[in-house]
């Protein structure tokens, strides 16, 4: 395994809940690191890319945004830049052996043609990326999770150069990781669908696939824009309720969330669009019924091993089943058992958007089969 210089201790964020769910490119600027210039990103807010000649710097953030730095990584060429930012981990060439603490990151790596770089993954039985899942079944991707958390001994035996993880919890903390470099990935925090997809550029820098990642993201952006432009801007879209229930408590995405952006871009009028928050918002049943009573479409993410019913979308609550959206054929759902809602969907916001357009504007469906979100049949 190549040597990785680790000159910093990363202050990872404390425990956080993983949320389910048009900016413009930033102006390139130079900052506190002599010789480094910031590369523009279009939508991503939880990482930055900088350049110094052929060298690249990846700066990652946690839930606190730019005030919550979780990592500083320099991918150096044969001629390392003269001024390496203080505290940066220096990689002398792209990563070739990595492990994943989240199965959702597999799709980003596969999209770049680097699936062979994955040597370990937590909860391999939940892998939805078909290529990495097949490699796991063939014994080429080892399981690194136990009932108690990260199997550090197994991880060390695999000798990956890095562990892709999340900016919370304790799995990637402490000296017990030895030479394995923890790299915090926070794509799930991005409020814009294209911001989540833009994380492919961070993976591209780390894996030596920078140009390929840029081209991939540009294609995603073009397709998303085309889908969005297909929706009439007449303000007459359906009112949309979207939420989930757990042990009798409903939660809904905030108005500044990933899902709220998708609903708006698909021509829907999200009923909680005026409520900004960090993460999902818990709402009482009275609010759910009062707000939901105005909805024309009612959506939910499910995990089912059978075809979804209206009752599934309503959480089995007779009061919600009686609301107009559910009585009149307006129920829709995403089933994480059927499709990779938390992985591949992050790289296909254009496909997710087309699904929602077909649900909100059936006349625009044009015979297309939905992939991630579907109307209840």
Q: What is the pLDDT of residue 15?
A: 27
Q: What is the pLDDT of residue 370?
A: 96
User: Can you tell me the distance from the alpha carbon of 325 to that of 358, in angstroms, rounded to the nearest whole number?
Assistant: 16
| 191-231 per-position pLDDT tens digit | 999 999 999 999 999 999 999 999 999 999 999 999 999 99
Residues whose CB is less than 8 angstroms from the CB of residue 22 and which lie 6 or more positions away in sequence, other chains included: 43, 192
Average pLDDT of the chain to the nearest whole number? 88
Domains in the chain, please, with CATH? Answer: 4-221 (3.40.50.1980), 233-375 (3.40.50.1980)
Q: What is the pLDDT of residue 50?
A: 95
Neighbours of 284 (CB within 10 A): 10
Q: Between 58 and 84, whose confidence is greater?
A: 58
| 340-374 per-position pLDDT tens digit | 999 999 999 999 999 999 999 999 988 899 999 99
Q: Which residues of 1-34 are buried (b: 16+ CB within 10 A; e: fewer)?
A: eeebebeeebebbeebeebbbeeeeeeeeeeebe
Q: Report DSSP state, residue 18.
A: -
The pLDDT of residue 319 is above 90: yes
Q: What is the DSSP string of 259-276?
A: HHHHHHHTT-EETTTT--
Q: What is the pLDDT of residue 198?
A: 98
Alpha helices in the chain (DSSP H): 106-111, 130-137, 152-158, 193-197, 199-206, 210-229, 258-265, 285-292, 310-313, 318-321, 324-327, 344-347, 349-360
| 143-181 per-position pLDDT tens digit | 999 988 899 999 999 999 999 998 876 665 555 677 899
pLDDT more than 90, % of the chain: 73
The pLDDT of residue 38 is above 50: yes
Q: What are phi and psi of 150, to 5 degrees?
A: -70, 130
The pLDDT of residue 11 is above 70: no
Q: What is the pLDDT of residue 176?
A: 63
Q: What is the pLDDT of residue 13?
A: 28
Q: Report DSSP state, residue 30.
A: B
Give the residues across from 240 on adjacent strands: 270, 297
Residue 267, token pair as written in the block = 């021509």
| 79-123 per-position pLDDT tens digit | 666 678 888 999 988 999 999 999 999 999 999 999 999 999 999
Q: What is the pLDDT of residue 22?
A: 32
Q: What is the pLDDT of residue 179?
A: 86
Q: What is the pLDDT of residue 217?
A: 98
The pLDDT of residue 59 is above 70: yes
Q: Which of 256, 333, 257 is nearest to 302 (CA)?
A: 333
Contact 7, 162 (CB under 8 A): no
pTM: 0.88
The pLDDT of residue 71 is above 90: yes
Q: What is the pLDDT of residue 106?
A: 97
**133 pLDDT band (50/70/90 cuts)?**
very high
Q: What is the pLDDT of residue 173?
A: 59
The pLDDT of residue 270 is above 60: yes
**Tokens 């044969």, located at residue:** 78
The pLDDT of residue 3 is above 60: no
Q: CA 94, 98, 103: angle at the middle one, nearest 5?
A: 130
Residues whose CB is less than 8 angstroms from the CB of residue 246 and which lie 6 or more positions away in sequence, other chains included: none
């Amino acid at each position: 395994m190549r040597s990785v210089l680790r000159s910093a201790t990363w202050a990872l964020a404390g425990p956080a809940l993983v949320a389910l769910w048009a900016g413009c490119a930033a102006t390139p600027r130079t900052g506190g690191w002599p010789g480094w210039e910031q590369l523009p990103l279009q939508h991503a807010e939880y990482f930055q890319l900088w350049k110094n000649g052929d060298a690249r710097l990846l700066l990652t953030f946690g839930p606190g945004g730019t005030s919550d730095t979780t990592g500083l990584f320099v991918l150096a060429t044969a001629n390392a830049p003269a001024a390496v930012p203080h505290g940066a981990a220096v990689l002398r060439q792209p990563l070739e052996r990595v492990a994943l603490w989240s199965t959702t990151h597999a799709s980003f790596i596969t999209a770049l043609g680097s699936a062979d770089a994955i040597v370990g993954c937590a909860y391999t039985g939940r892998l939805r990326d078909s290529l990495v899942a097949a490699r796991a079944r063939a014994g080429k991707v080892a399981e690194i999770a136990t009932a108690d958390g990260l199997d550090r001994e197994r991880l060390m035996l695999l000798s990956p150069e890095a562990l892709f993880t999340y900016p919370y919890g304790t799995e990637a903390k402490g000296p017990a990781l030895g030479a394995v470099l923890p790299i915090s990935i926070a794509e799930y925090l991005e409020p814009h669908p294209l911001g989540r997809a833009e994380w492919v550029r961070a993976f591209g820098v780390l894996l030596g696939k920078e140009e390929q990642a840029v081209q991939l993201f540009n294609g995603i952006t073009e397709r998303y824009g085309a889908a969005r432009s297909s929706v009439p801007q007449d303000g007459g879209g359906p009112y949309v309720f979207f939420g989930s229930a757990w042990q009798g408590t409903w939660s809904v995405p905030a108005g500044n969330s990933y899902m709220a952006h998708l609903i708006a871009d698909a021509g829907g009028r999200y009923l909680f669009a005026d409520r900004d928050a960090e993460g999902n918002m818990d709402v009482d049943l009275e609010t759910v019924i009062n707000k939901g009573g105005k909805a024309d479409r009612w959506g939910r993410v499910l995990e089912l091993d059978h075809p979804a019913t209206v009752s599934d979308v309503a959480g089995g609550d007779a009061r919600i089943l009686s609301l107009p959206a559910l009585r009149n054929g307006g129920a829709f759902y995403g089933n994480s058992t059927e499709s990779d809602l938390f992985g591949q969907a992050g790289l296909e916001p254009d496909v997710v958007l087309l699904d929602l357009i077909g649900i909100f504007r059936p006349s625009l469906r044009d015979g297309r089969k939905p992939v991630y979100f579907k109307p209840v049949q």
